[in-house]
Amino acid sequence: MTVLVALSTKDSLVMGCDSLGSVTRDLVDPFDLLPDFFETKDDWSLKVDKEGNPTLKTFQDIYKKAQSVPFNHMPHVTKLFPLDPLEMGVMITGIASIGERTIKSLINEFKNNDIAFNKNKKPANYAVKKVAGRLLKFIDPFYQKEYEKLRGKPPLEFMIGGYDKRAQLPKIFRIFFHKEKQSDRLEQNLTDSFGIAFGGQTQEIERIVFGTDNANRLNIIKRIVSLFDVYKQILQDFLKEKGIDEELPPSSDYIDKLHPFKEWGLYSFDANWGDFSEQNAIDCVNFFVEIMIKSQQFSTSMPTVGGPVHIGLITKQHGFKFISKEMYEHEGFATPIRREK
| Upper half-sphere CA count for residue 229 (Cβ side, 13 Å) | 7
How far apart are alpha carbons 285 and 324 in whole angstroms?
A: 12
Buried b / exposed e along 232-270 (16+ C-beta atoms within 10 A): eeeeeeeeeeeeeeeeeeebeeeeeeeeeeeeeeeeeee
State mean pLDDT over 133-140: 96
**H or E stretch including 60?**
helix 59-63
Phi/psi of residue 47, each to 5°?
-75, 145
How far apart are alpha carbons 16 and 312 in whole angstroms?
A: 6
Residue 152 identity (one-letter amino acid) = G
Q: Angle at the Cα of 63 (from 201 to 297), degrees rounded to 5?
A: 30
How far apart are alpha carbons 132 and 50 in whole angstroms?
A: 55
CATH 3.20.20.70 fits 3-27+69-210+272-336, yes or no: no
Cβ atoms of residues 248 and 235 within 8 Å: yes
Best CA proximity match to 188, nearest among 127, 109, 114: 127
pLDDT band at 192 (very low <50, low <70, confident <90, very high): low
**Whole-prediction pTM:** 0.84
Residue 324 burial (CB count, 10 A): 17
Q: What is the DSSP letter of 337?
A: P
Tell me what percent of the residues of the chain surpass a pLDDT of 90.
56
Which of 112-116, 146-150, 311-315 is the least confident region? 146-150
- For the cut 60, the answer to whether the pLDDT of residue 191 exceeds it is no
Convert the pLDDT of each residue in 258-291 to its tens digit: 888 888 888 888 899 999 999 999 999 999 999 9
How far apart are alpha carbons 280 and 89 in whole angstroms?
A: 19
- For the cut 70, the answer to whether the pLDDT of residue 63 exceeds it is yes
- For the cut 90, the answer to whether the pLDDT of residue 119 exceeds it is no
Give the chain's radius of gyration (CA, Å).
25
Any bridge partners for residue 3, and if so which? 200
SS3 237: helix
SS3 88: strand
Q: Angle at the Cα of 135 (from 94 to 5), degrees rounded to 5?
A: 45
100 against 122, higher pLDDT: 100
Residues 6+ apart with CB under 8 A from 159: 4, 6, 15, 90, 91, 92, 93, 172, 173, 174, 175, 189, 197, 199
HEC string of 145-165? HHCCCCCCCCCEEEEEEECCC
Cβ atoms of residues 2 and 201 within 8 Å: yes
- For the cut 60, the answer to whether the pLDDT of residue 325 exceeds it is yes
Looking only at the bridges linking them, the beta strands covering 327-330 and 333-336 are antiparallel
pLDDT band at 339 (very low <50, low <70, confident <90, very high): low
